[in-house]
Structure 1
Amino acid sequence: MLIVEDLFLLLTDDESGKTYAAGGTTDYALAGSLLLELLLERRVRATIEPKHQGGLLEVVDTTPTGDAIFDHGLSIVAKHDGERLPNVIPPLHIGLRDHLRESLVAKGILCVKESKILGIIPHHAWPAQDTVHEHDIVEKVTNALLSVTEPTERIGALIAALSALGAETMVLEPEAHGVPRKDVRRRASAIADNADWAPADLREGVQLVIGAINTTIMSYTTVPVVPF
């Protein structure tokens, strides 16, 4: 499972199959997590841009892997080598949801439900079929946000994307655990900002990509996260 697949599951309602938050912000968070995975897998680098407080993309290896989602990312970044990181995230989301749904259906985690609105308009939904993996991820994210455990590389990356989207409290419900909502957000932000979970030689690049995810989402909208 890729980080972006786990994020998609966390941002999707199990029963209705609908995603949360304004469409563009969710898409950018997903695309950003895919870029983060490409960096963690050492397929790209993020270097400091001297003239701006941001980062530049450097493509290292675009050899296909056979994974449709990962290779989708590789094919996109290959066209944006040398560009600013915030400019790379928007094109990465094109077609990404379709790849995610196809992959998760193939793995038996989601299923496809077809219906017709007013008996005429075709409608598709992708509710959960097997929630075992998602529940495991929720538990690990929750433990990291409650400081029960330190986040692993994958969980740290997930929390960074959730924090950028303002969706960390959708995974950990503060009221259910008796902790203030602001403390959950503060912990998520610290995990994202420090990036201690990333390999030492990639930490600066990871922080640059996380900064680009935040910048891209903030530039799109400031609408709060709500189900729709």
Structure 2
Amino acid sequence: MLLAEDLLLLLLDDEKGTTPGLWVAVRVPLGAAVLAELAIDDAVELEPRESRWRTPKIRVTGATEQDDVLAAALQVVAQKPRTAVDLVGRVGDGLKDRLAERLAGQGLLERHDGTVLGLFPRTTWPAAASTHEAQVREGLRAVVVDGAAPDERTAALAGILQALDRLRPVLGLSGAEARAAKKRVAELTKGDLATKAVRDAVEAAIVAVTTATTAATSVAVIS
């Protein structure tokens, strides 16, 4: 299972098959999850920061990917070095339905084709089985709430969910528990879980989601 597939399962409403509560297009966090996985696989890296005024760009390392989704994303990154903010939307374009089809093929989602207002076609992806999603939630809770030893994938997943402000509802957190979880995630994404190159690239992907979410929220408030 890809990190982006786990993320999509957590973002989808199990009954409605939609992604409620997001201020930003779902392609952004899905693209960030793919970038994070490429970094964890050492397939991409963040350029060294040469100036405080210049945002470092992500570039390929020369490694290859066997998974078709990751391989396609790697081709996008290989076109030319771009910032994570620029890449997440490009990498995530069309990814929701592509990943959902794969998950449906594994019996985890169902495809429902319908219309909105009887006019506009819409596809939703309600849950068909919840076992894997429940395992992902348990793994997240163990690390974020119970203090279990983390791994790179769980830290990246928690960071993206936190950037989307979806960690609390996904894990059912509130009050002091939610505040402690937020602090824990900040420590995880900047901790010594991997090489500096991987940490930097994963953090860049998370920052890209935060930037897009903040911008979308600001536009909504002004409107």
**Which interval holds the TM-score relative to the shorter structure?**
0.7 to 0.9
Alignment of 1:197 onto 2:196: no
Alignment of 1:14 onto 2:11: no
Q: What percent of counterpart residues are identical?
A: 28
CA contact (8 A) 1:55 1:84 kept: yes
Residue in 2 aligned with 1:169?
168
Residue in 1 aligned with 2:148?
149
Query: What is the CA RMSD across the aligned residues, in angstroms?
Result: 2.5
Deviation at 1:205, TM superposition (A): 3.4
**C-alpha separation between the residues in 2 aligned to 1:94 and 1:217?**
16
AA in 2 matched with 1:160: G
**C-alpha separation between the residues in 2 aligned to 1:49 and 1:219?**
24
CA contact (8 A) 2:45 2:197 kept: no
Look up the SS of the partner of 1:49 in the other structure.
coil
Deviation at 1:222, TM superposition (A): 4.5
**C-alpha separation between the residues in 2 aligned to 1:116 and 1:89?**
28
Figure out how many residues of one structure are paired with residues of the other and give that number. 219
CA contact (8 A) 2:10 2:133 kept: yes
**C-alpha separation between the residues in 2 aligned to 1:210 and 1:122?**
32
Residue in 2 aligned with 1:60?
61
What TM-score, normalized to structure 2? 0.85
Deviation at 1:200, TM superposition (A): 5.3
Specify whether residues 64 and 201 from structure 1 end up closer, same or farther in structure 2 by C-alpha distance, changes over 3 A only: closer
**C-alpha separation between the residues in 1 aligned to 2:216 and 2:116?**
30
CA contact (8 A) 1:12 1:18 kept: yes
Specify whether residues 30 and 121 from structure 1 end up closer, same or farther in structure 2 by C-alpha distance, changes over 3 A only: closer
Deviation at 1:196, TM superposition (A): 2.9
209, 212, 215: which one aligns with 1:213: 209
Residue in 2 aligned with 1:109?
108
Moved more, 85-94 or 114-123: 114-123
Alignment of 1:186 onto 2:183: yes
AA in 2 matched with 1:189: A
AA in 1 matched with 2:34: L
**C-alpha separation between the residues in 2 aligned to 1:195 and 1:20?**
31
What TM-score, normalized to structure 1? 0.83
**C-alpha separation between the residues in 2 aligned to 1:223 and 1:26?**
17
AA in 2 matched with 1:202: V
Per-residue CA deviation, residues 106-130 of structure 1 (Å, 9 max, x unaligned), is 1111111234556665442211111
**C-alpha separation between the residues in 2 aligned to 1:109 and 1:53?**
42
Residue in 2 aligned with 1:77?
77
Per-residue CA deviation, residues 133-182 of structure 1 (Å, 9 max, x unaligned), is 1000000101111133122221111001111111110222125xx84432
Look up the SS of the partner of 2:47 in the other structure.
strand
Moved more, 139-148 or 198-207: 198-207
Deviation at 1:197, TM superposition (A): 2.7
Residue in 2 aligned with 1:89?
88
AA in 2 matched with 1:58: R
Deviation at 1:82, TM superposition (A): 2.1
Structure 2 unaligned blocks of 5 or more: none
**C-alpha separation between the residues in 2 aligned to 1:75 and 1:24?**
24
Look up the SS of the partner of 1:114 in the other structure.
strand
Specify whether residues 118 and 169 from structure 1 end up closer, same or farther in structure 2 by C-alpha distance, changes over 3 A only: closer
Deviation at 1:19, TM superposition (A): 0.6
Residue in 2 aligned with 1:100?
99
Specify whether residues 58 and 108 from structure 1 end up closer, same or farther in structure 2 by C-alpha distance, changes over 3 A only: same
Look up the SS of the partner of 1:219 in the other structure.
helix
Look up the SS of the partner of 1:174 in the other structure.
coil
Structure 1 unaligned blocks of 5 or more: none
